Structure 1
């Protein structure tokens, strides 16, 4: 596991990022409502590549289409994500972890997060620890298994572990 830090502008989502994304998001040919009640399809997509929101009435898609949608979504997200980290260095692992967070929770949440503030202050361990603050979906504490969103908490713990191993 490489702990070498690179200028963020030279990084991009790795193959490991997309493997992990499908592992955690799962694949669904048909639209469904996620734990936050958002209509989702494919590999966690809430919008199609052209920007139209997924609807419960949309037809099923193939796994190949789902991966294409996810890659399109991430490519667009990475522009704003990299911009938020301008002039900073991260390891590939850290980059993937925080990009995965952004895919899951959104760019607006990333922009106002203590993770980003800590990274800007070069407080890398504190940034990793800040991941664990994000355990709520639709005002439900996902660290409580019976709340029906425990997978969100498990994913945060996995992000935290990967992040800490990169320090």
Structure 2
């Protein structure tokens, strides 16, 4: 961490304490909380058999608690290995997030961002899906616009070309509900 970054971090930590708030933490010391992992697996649900991804079909089979990497149609699993795999996947996503996010975060913000990355992929989280670019969310975050970064979660509302936030949507309404939940969590308003 550079000299200016250290001063800014210390100033912001002191200011947060004066307001009775916990300061944001450097990403190096953050890890997904137990509640964050439970939230991810509860949202994803469990399947002991590989099934076609709702967006990509059999091109991206999914198993366990939302695992897609290295999965083939016909694969099976049980709950314990599926949870272990979800944790390994989360840890890989955390590593990628820590490469692209350069600012300290509160635990609730970090958990929300890891959960989003688990759903959309860390590459998409960091780049917006375009190699060599930076996503709007990460641009805002690294600029210190914490509220704007939380609001950018709501931009991840499409499944293919379907707007999951559209009233009466029956195709992917769960995605929109999840984005609203993650936005509230990110803003510190989660139940």
Q: Output the TM-score relative to the length of structure 1.
A: 0.88
Judge conservation of contact 1:35–1:148 (CA < 8 Å) in 2: no
In structure 2, runs of 5+ residues without a counterpart are: 1-20, 128-134
Report the Cα offset of residue 3 of structure 1: 5.0
Q: Distance in 1 between matches of 2:53 and 2:44?
A: 10
Structure possessing the higher radius of gyration over alpha carbons: 2
Q: Distance in 2 between matches of 1:44 and 1:91?
A: 25
Larger RCO, structure (CA 8 Å, separation 6 or more): 1
Q: For residue 43 of structure 2, what is the aligned residue in structure 1?
A: 24
Judge conservation of contact 1:141–1:147 (CA < 8 Å) in 2: no
Equivalent residue of 1:165, what SS?
Answer: coil
Report the Cα offset of residue 147 of structure 1: 4.7
Report the Cα offset of residue 23 of structure 1: 1.1
**Alignment size in residue pairs:** 158
Q: Output the TM-score relative to the length of structure 2.
A: 0.78
Q: For residue 78 of structure 1, what is the aligned residue in structure 2?
A: 94
Q: Distance in 2 between matches of 1:39 and 1:56?
A: 6
Equivalent residue of 2:141, what SS?
Answer: helix
In structure 1, runs of 5+ residues without a counterpart are: none
Q: For residue 74 of structure 2, what is the aligned residue in structure 1?
A: 57
- The alignment status of 1:104 with 2:119, answered yes or no, reads yes
Q: Deviations over 1:46-93 (max 9, x none)?
A: 02xxxx2x11111x211111101101111122211111123x110011
Following TM superposition, the consecutive aligned residue runs of length 4 or more in structure 1 with deviations greater than 4 angstroms are none
Judge conservation of contact 1:125–1:164 (CA < 8 Å) in 2: yes
Equivalent residue of 1:148, what SS?
Answer: coil
Report the Cα offset of residue 4 of structure 1: 3.1
Q: For residue 108 of structure 2, what is the aligned residue in structure 1?
A: 93
